Amino acid sequence: MGPTARTRRVPRSATSSPTPISVRVPAREDDLTAAQPVNLLGLDRAALEAHIVAMGERAFRAQQILPWLHQRGVTDFAAMSNIGKALAARLAASAVVTIPEMASEHLSEDGTRKWVLRLADGNAIETVFIPEAERNTLCISSQVGCALDCAFCATAQQGFNRNLTAAEIVGQVWFAEHRLRSERHSPERVISNVVFMGMGEPLLNLKEVGPAIRILLDDLGYGLSRRRVTVSTAGVVPALDRLQEVAPVSLAVSLHAPDDALRDKLVPLNKKYRIAELLGACRRYVAHDARRRVTFEYAMLAGVNDSSAHARALACLLRTVPAKVNLIPFNPFPGTSFERSSDAVIDRFRDILLAAGLVAVTRRTRGDSIRAACGQLAGVVKERTRRVVPIHAS
């Protein structure tokens, strides 16, 4: 019988709940078997079935294990009462359930909560919980840092280190869901929506984001509907086409400009994939369902992209795309030269879009007092680099 994973108690900051949760971490390196243990949090149903079959067990065991992991938050294989002692022991010898550790917790007066989560390699990512009357949204990260260098985004200023694994992506959801349940002393699901709008460009990590999404959608995992999971992208067109095949969830596009000249300055990726090509991919993405719309995110930058002329150009640009425009008041961060457009300017911009027949809303700023608002997430990026990762990466 192989070594079991040890239990470590999550450290609490001054603002954290008085009821901490415990998570399993891998046993010490010299205790592990020759093969590196697999983190089961990152295996979707098909991958977990393959892993179980490779152990000589029947595939249906995966359907027993998934709810224990994700829905009940059980990380001790011996506590999974319906899988048998023999399988539990074998899993303890060959697999782990490793959750990112909480480095700090920050609570805003509007109820928004930001966690800085420490990864095994010393990097840290940020995850944000946004409670509302009709839904509870979790904003998660897909990379450590970001290589796209968007001018108005704090994450981009941190540089890029690496992609997150599927287990590290799902681990953010596991951590938040079961910590919140523990605080509320309730087994009821807390998180209703998940958005890939944290650190990183999700479509440059589709190899890991894809399985993570499938776990979020699986009825034996988190059971979220496709419309309640949103991937936000700056416009990696080839991967956007693949996303439709991998996991056709809701789509948000970081547009921020109505023409190529301005977008080249704000979103450098535009130099590779022009707006016309990006909009073509967006049309293809929603073509099979007339009810679906693409959400276009537009950060309102004073004196940069917020004039009436910009609004009219944007309305013209999106006239043939099933679109919803989300106007985002710019959220400042240290070192930025950009400023937020005034409320009056944002209202005028929105009204021009509405008059042109577009659906347009102004996003309510949440969590800016703890730097948890859109564009403010930074985390801790070790060995950061300004290198651009291959745009065709999966």
What are the extents of the domains in the chain? 6-96, 101-370
Please give the Cα distance from 77 to 325 (Å, whole number): 46
Supply the mean pLDDT for the chain. 86
Helix (H, G, I), strand (E, B) or coil at 117: strand
Predicted pLDDT of residue 98: 96
Whether the CB-CB separation of 140 and 173 falls below 8 Å is answered with yes
How is residue 385 written in tokens? 């680099």
Mean pLDDT of 274-279: 98
Q: What is the pLDDT of residue 333?
A: 80
Catalytic residue, from 126, 177, 208, 297: name it: 126
Length of the chain equals 394
How far, CA to CA in Å, does 249 sit from each of 94, 212, 213, 246, 277? 33, 12, 8, 9, 20
What is the CATH architecture of 6-96?
Answer: Orthogonal Bundle (1.10)
> What is the DSSP-derived secondary structure letter of residue 29?
G
Q: Which of 105, 139, 297, 374 is labelled catalytic? A: 374
Domain 101-370 has CATH 3.20.20.70: yes
282 is catalytic: no
Residue 300: which residues within 8 A CB-CB, separation 6 or more? 306, 327, 328, 329, 330, 340, 341, 345, 346, 349
For 255-367, strand residue ranges (E) read 294-300, 323-329, 359-362
Binding-site positions read 146, 150, 153, 200-201, 232, 254-256, 331
Q: Which residues are annotated as a binding site for [4Fe-4S] cluster?
A: 146, 150, 153
Element (H, E) at 50: helix 45-54
- Give the tens place of pLDDT for each residue, 284-343: 999 988 889 999 999 999 999 999 999 999 999 999 999 999 999 998 888 888 999 999
**Catalytic (active site) residue 374:** yes
Would you say residue 167 has pLDDT above 90?
yes
The pLDDT assigned to 298 comes to 97
Q: Which residues are documented as binding site for S-adenosyl-L-methionine? A: 200-201, 232, 254-256, 331
